[in-house]
Amino acid sequence: MKRLFPILSIVTALLLAYALYLALVVAPTDALQGDVYRIIYYHVPSAWTAFLLFFINFIASVQYLVSKKPSARPPMKWIVIAIGVVGAIATYLPPIKHQIPAGMEPSAVATTVLLIPMFYFLIGWLFPGDRLDVLAVTTAEVGVVFCTIVLVTGPIWARPVWGIWWATGDIRLTSTLVLWLIYVSYLVLRRFSNSAQTQVLAAVLAIFGALDVPLVYLSIWFFRTQHPQPVIGGGGSMDPRMLHVLLFSWLAFLCFAFLVCWSRFRLELLEREVEQAHAMESMVGADAAAHVSLPLSRGA
């Protein structure tokens, strides 16, 4: 795997460079916004990547909490399966189907629901034990980076288009900022808390934070907002050439996020191994000191 990393790094660098070329040269100019719209090729893929990382963080956090109670594993598996099956079927029922926003296909909703059990079992298989917690903190850190890119590029885009940097009270912008603050709080908790329950508390906070992701995405359908309608998933339209560039940019961002998560995951594992080694050395040193002091006290 270590030999594969340099190859993937080169491929990712080429993808990012080509995505930049597509965004600046190949993609046509928007008739209404002009060239400023080209920031969409960084803004939107960053948002999608952040949502995916927070989703993985959510699944890993749930798995970690369940792993602490072996008796909860079997019922949780059936609950997750039921969520996937019932949720996918429910999207096609007339009462539920009518609640789906106009332009959003039920098949897209059903596919998203089915991803929950798929990711749940896949992550549980690939990351057993404490590796779930390592995956959770890794995806949270990288997700915050991409969410920061979203919050930075959004106002840069909004200024020439809306005439303001930030639309006060806009539900999409506000909910995205809240999402960022929740996960920053998650990282602060992981960094500065020394409690034995830190990992459990962080997992609970991550689950709470993940609930804001659907609100961020669906807010433009259920609330009045200045934010443009989505170009994928209904509610908007896009030139096919622009869409191809956007999807290619997302592919490049996903590869980059994967490499960063891979590096951070390995580093986190090494840090924990070093901490465990130091703890063992401290215990051995304390035991040795106790055995030495015992004969001395008897001789006295």
Q: What's the pLDDT tens digit per position in 101-157?
A: 666 777 778 888 899 999 999 998 999 888 999 999 999 999 999 999 999 998 888
Q: For residue 237, what pLDDT is reported?
A: 64
Task: Count the neighbouring beta carbons within 10 Å of the beta carbon of residue 278.
Answer: 10
| Whole-prediction pTM | 0.88
Average pLDDT over residues 203-216: 88
Please give the share of the chain, as a percent, with pLDDT higher than 70.
Answer: 86
Asked if residue 234 has pLDDT above 60, the reply is no
User: CB of 166 within 8 A of CB of 173?
Assistant: yes
User: CB of 190 within 8 A of CB of 198?
Assistant: yes
Helical residues (DSSP H) of the chain, grouped into ranges: 4-21, 40-67, 73-90, 94-97, 106-126, 131-162, 171-192, 198-210, 212-222, 240-299
Angle between helices 40-67 and 106-126 (to 10 degrees): 50
- Mean pLDDT over the full length of the chain: 85
Which of these ranges, 165-169, 233-237, 268-272, 291-295, has the smallest mean pLDDT? 233-237
Q: What's the pLDDT tens digit per position in 60-108?
A: 999 999 988 888 889 999 999 999 999 889 888 888 877 776 667 777 7
Query: Three-state DSSP class for 34?
Result: strand
